Amino acid sequence: MKKGLILFFLVFVGISLTACHNDLPDGKTYNIVITNATIPPMMAILDVLENENETYMWYGRKNTFIDIDNFGENMTFIGDPKNQEEVPGIKPEVLSEMKNIVLDLYITSKETANFNLYVVDYGIKVALQIFIEQGIKEENYQVFLLEDGSGSYEQFNQAGYAASDGKTVFDAKVAELDQLIADIKQGGYTWGSAANMINWDLAFAYATKDNVEYWLQYPEIITSLDPAMQAFLDDQGIHFVKKKLTPMFHELSEDKQSIFQNAILDLNTFGPILNIDNGKQTLLVTGTSYDGEDQGFVTDLPTGDGELEIAMDYIIETYGDAYNIFFKPHPSWMPSLGDDMGVRWESVLGQSRPTEWEQILRDRVDYFADNNIVVLPGQTPIEAILWAFPEVKIGGYNSSLYMNASNEQVLFFILSANDFNLLSRPLPTIILNNGLKHPQTNENPLIIHPGLFS
């Protein structure tokens, strides 16, 4: 009964206020940001700094920002931004709080408030719950679906849209989404426990709506074998917008670039570390997750044991004379003996560390110490380091971070075979189009693979 009364009240308020909407001036625009992962929060912040609207933000990625105070009074963070917990999907309590914020702004403004919602692309049901479920008119909001990295490109294929019958599959998904929206408007939809989790297939369908854009760094590589689907893409039936982090950063004024860099990277700490005055250049080796190591570099050693160290031996031998070598670990697989050791098992899986797993990390800590390799903080986005220190070189495991590296920065990849196609999309296409070919040597990055050691 209580739920029914609330729904009736919201509908009644909406009808009452709509009657006088045409007599009201245009309202203020607010930014609403709900993101996790690495790329979405950076993409959102770069645009938020540009438009300067009052902003409410949650990000589910621990230590994404080291100094949020410099963002100024226009930015309100919800949750615990300085001690943010990394979570899969979007926390229900976060969504509830943001729904209340948006509805309060909307009603208080007598329906003149406008909203830009920045949301990680697989979280499209966030938009449905914030706006459609609460009766906020379509003309009062825009939704920007933000690329999550290589997964956003892979999902187009996995959903079946790139196949020879892609348009048929896609049309069925659009119909499914339209039915979902109709059910929500009628109050006949019950949100499941996974309502805000992974919905990539719906993201592409949702981006056909007039007030929705899908921001990708490389939308041009989204293609289909189905002529009808390809024609639909060519006609911009899906509202892809090309947004690359590096150009977004460089388009900011110097003052705003400084705000962003100081929020995401401790320049006073990284400067002395990365700019050692010993005649050598700087090389960052990027790590991957525990599972990613097995997928990225497979030897005849037992699974998970020492594979990175074998690759690192080669890197030290090949590049050690010319470069100071650093290791940038994956946030979930930290070579540390402290509370952040490994990270993933206890904070995400809720399990104690396996003995053999812990021993791998202990051996790794000793390996880096013995070889004088400094381990950088795992949470620091590599993209920010590349912008702040453009002379730095990088190489390592398969990762979406390489989409924002210049062709002068990438020296090598660590892969299970001598094949760039093993990289996640869109990296193989970038390389095929000479996007990572060095301008002086005219060579693609080296591949460090098990064949080098046979």
* pLDDT score of 343: 58
What pLDDT is recorded for position 321? 92
CATH topology of domain 27-248: Rossmann fold (3.40.50)
Q: Can you give the pLDDT at residue 194?
A: 46
271 backbone dihedrals φ, ψ, rounded to 5°: -55, -60
281-286 and 240-242 strand pairing: unpaired
The pair of structure tokens assigned to 423 is 């990289």
Q: What is the pTM of this model?
A: 0.77
Q: What is the pLDDT of residue 87?
A: 60
How confident is the model at residue 404, as a pLDDT?
79
SS (H, E, C) the chain: CHHHHHHHHHHHHHHHHHCCHHHCCCCCEEEEEEEECCHHHHHHHHHHHHHCCEEEEEEECCCCCCCCHHHCCCEEECCCHHHCCCCCCCCHHHHHHHHHHHHHHHHHCCCCCEEEEEEEHHHHHHHHHHHHCCCCCHHHEEEEEECCCHHHHHHHHHCCCCCCCHHHHHHHHHHHHHHHHHHHHCCCCCCCCCCCCCCHHHHHHHCCCCCEEEEECCHHHCCCCCHHHHHHHHCCCCCEEECCHHHHHHCCCHHHHHHHHHHHCCHHHHHHHHCCCCCCEEEEEECCCHHHHHHHCCCCCCCCCCHHHHHHHHHHHHHCCCEEEEEECCCCCCCCCCCCCCCHHHHHHCCCCCHHHHHHHHHHHHHHHHCCCEECCCCCCHHHHHHHCCCCEEEEECCHHHHHCCCCCEEEEECCCCCHHHCCCCHHHHHHCCCCCCCCCCCCCEEECHHHHC
What does the domain layout of the chain look like in residue ranges? 27-248, 265-453
Q: Is residue 61 within 8 Å of 36, Cβ to Cβ?
A: yes
Task: Give me the residues of the chain with pLDDT under 50, please.
Answer: 1-25, 194-195, 301-304
Residues 161-173: tens digit of each pLDDT: 999 999 999 999 9
Q: Crossing angle for the helix pair 2-18 and 92-108, nearest 10 degrees?
A: 40
Q: What is the pLDDT of residue 298?
A: 55
CATH of range 265-453; options 3.40.50.11110, 3.40.50.300, 2.60.40.740, 3.40.50.150: 3.40.50.11110
Per CATH, 27-248 and 265-453 having the same topology is answered yes
Q: What are the angstrom distances between the C-alpha of 43 and each of 47, 149, 172, 246, 329?
A: 7, 11, 30, 10, 22
